[in-house]
Homo-oligomer: A and B are copies of this chain.
Amino acid sequence: MAQKTAQVRETAETLAKKQREISVSEFFAKNRHLLGFDNPKKALLTAVKEAVDNSLDACEEAGILPEVEIIIGNTGVDRFLVSVKDNGPGIVKAQIPNIFGKLLYGSKFHSLRMARGQQGIGISAAGMYGLLTTGKSMKIISRTSPRRPAHYYEVQIDTRKNRPEIIKDAEMEVDFAQGTLVEIELEARYQRGRQSVDGYLAQTAIANPHVTIRYINPDGEVIEYERAADVMPDRPKLIKPHPYGVELGVLIKMLKESKNRTLSAFLTGEFSRVTPRVAAEICERAELSEKSNSTRIAREEADKLYAAINATKIMSPPSDCVIPIGEELVKKGLAQVFEAEFYEACTRPPAVYRGNPFRIECGIAYGGRVDGEELATVLRFANRVPLLYQQSACAIHKAAVTTNWRSYGLQQSKGALPHGPLTIMVHVASVWVPFTSESKEAIAHYPEILKEIRLALQECGRKLGRHLRRQRRDAEANTKRIYIERYIPHISESLAEILALKQKETDALTDLLKDILRNSRKF
């Protein structure tokens, strides 16, 4: 290969001039497929999802039973206006521009608490996508109390600086006492089916029986999901990190920045499940004084402290920080959407991955639909949010295909989901759900999470197996009864002819034969 073109040779100096900071908005604008905006169909779903997830989180945090209204209208070729309104606590005026016009800004990232949102990216990214594709601002109306006026904002994200640009800012008369309304116009495509806005809302209703959803789709149809439960789920508790999940470098940083003076106070104050007794045990093992100043722990001492933490037996994190939907409500939710003959659910006890508590629940619905070669359907949820894309990359899918469903009476090919009219629902609840990408579509393959999902599936599977065996036995017994009823009289009559029996004797013989056959197998 000859050097056909003159090579422009860079030097350290010319290269240095090109170095520049990249704003996080520029980064995600260019890599928008990482956020779920890779195609027009998914873009519509992602925008609705981010807004609805925020609404539900806000309502629950304020102890309000959520009522959410979603309207999607067609505004041109491949263009839609998405509007999402909730009855939540509203947003304080000063926070509106940052929440909607800045990526990586939010209230949930820095705390360990089970919530739908966690990154502070979603809704601003949806607004940014709308702006990039249509040039239109995001519109927000929010009211925090009936005693105060509502605020109206038009916001655009300045991608170069990752900063909101306020286009309009006014007070406004509205017909609701409290809540937030968000409007985004974007390039998108509307399609029905499982991976659509319609599918997402239907599944949201299953996992959130305390929520009322009203949805008007682009065809003008009104779809409503009335709440099935009038009680709010328990509010998940905020927790401190568990010592087992902390790495050496993080420990060093925490020590340096701690406001607790002594090492003992540091350990009990910054971590969950470290009692003064456990702290004393850790210090002794690390050969450090409980009273040593935590900000002055040297690197080698931190090494020892780290080793001591991991060598000391510490109780698992508390479980009231992850709130399951509950077995009854899971079954109720499935029954609302799938007409089946058998429902089962299982909520596992809390478990821990990398120091983060999590809890798995699983529900199954079997039968009711006729299908020959169809595979089971898997519904995936993380902190009550339906996951609709990247199924095969998800830990839930992996656990489902590596479970042996044949032992529960179903057909299954290697590496595939089982055959049959089966719907499997799995919910992963955690203070920090490890997603495989910013678009939060699939859960990473942590071994502890995979194991718990498998255990939950097995528990439901065993019960399904019992049901199917009973069903098969009943079917066999039924066939046999039919045979007996149908053929015994003929046999008796033939015998009667051969043996020249009287009618009375024939009847007695028939009864005798029926008895013998019926008792040949208990049913």
Contact = CB atoms under 8 A, between A and B. Distances in A.
A46 B235 CA distance: 40
A104 B235 contact: no
B95 A7 contact: no
A8 interface: yes
B1 A233 contact: yes
A33 B1 contact: no
A68 interface: no
B231 A63 contact: no
Residue among A11, A26, A434 with the highest chain B CB neighbour number at 10 A: A11
Interface string A422-456: 00000000001011111000001000000000000
A144 interface: yes
Given A102-B21, A104-B24, A12 B231 contact: no
Contacts of A253: 159
Nearest to A104: B22
B12 A90 contact: yes
A210 to B, nearest CB: 9
Main secondary structure of the interface of A (DSSP, over half): loop
A135 interface: yes
A2 interface: yes
Contacts of A248: 132-135, 187
Interface in A91-117: 91-92, 94-95, 98-99, 102, 104-107, 109-111
Residue among A27, A91, A159 with the highest chain B CB neighbour number at 10 A: A27
The number of times this chain is found in the oligomer is: 2
Interface string A1-41: 11111011111110110111111101100110110001000
A481 interface: no
Residue among A247, A303, A328 with the highest chain B CB neighbour number at 10 A: A247
Contact of A15 (B12, B20, B26, B61): B61
Contacts of A436: 33-34, 437
Nearest to A392: B392
B135 A252 contact: yes
A439 to B, nearest CB: 10
Contact of A61 (B2, B10, B91): B10
A16 B95 contact: yes
B33 A434 contact: yes
A302 B3 CA distance: 42
Given A231-B1, A393-B393, A24 B21 contact: no
A91 to B, nearest CB: 6
A143 to B, nearest CB: 9
A34 B437 contact: yes
Contact of A105 (B19, B92, B437): B19
Interface in A377-426: 392-393
A89 B229 CA distance: 67
A1 B89 contact: no
A16 B94 contact: yes
A349 interface: no
A45 to B, nearest CB: 17
Contact of A22 (B27, B120, B133, B144): B120
Contacts of A120: 22
A21 B434 CA distance: 21
Contacts of A437: 34, 436-437
A247 to B, nearest CB: 5
Residue among A10, A99, A393 with the highest chain B CB neighbour number at 10 A: A10
A62 B10 contact: yes
A329 B1 contact: yes
Given A249-B132, A392-B392, A105 B20 contact: yes
A388 to B, nearest CB: 17
Contacts of A19: 95, 98-99, 105-107
A58 interface: yes
Contacts of A98: 19, 21
Interface of A: 1-5, 7-13, 15-16, 18-24, 26-27, 30-31, 33-34, 38, 58, 61-63, 89-92, 94-95, 98-99, 102, 104-107, 109-111, 119-120, 130-135, 144-145, 159, 187, 229, 231-235, 237, 247-250, 252-253, 299, 302-303, 320, 326, 328-329, 392-393, 432, 434-438, 444
Given A13-B144, A22-B119, 7 more contacts: A1-B326, A4-B234, A10-B63, A16-B95, A21-B104, A135-B248, A436-B437
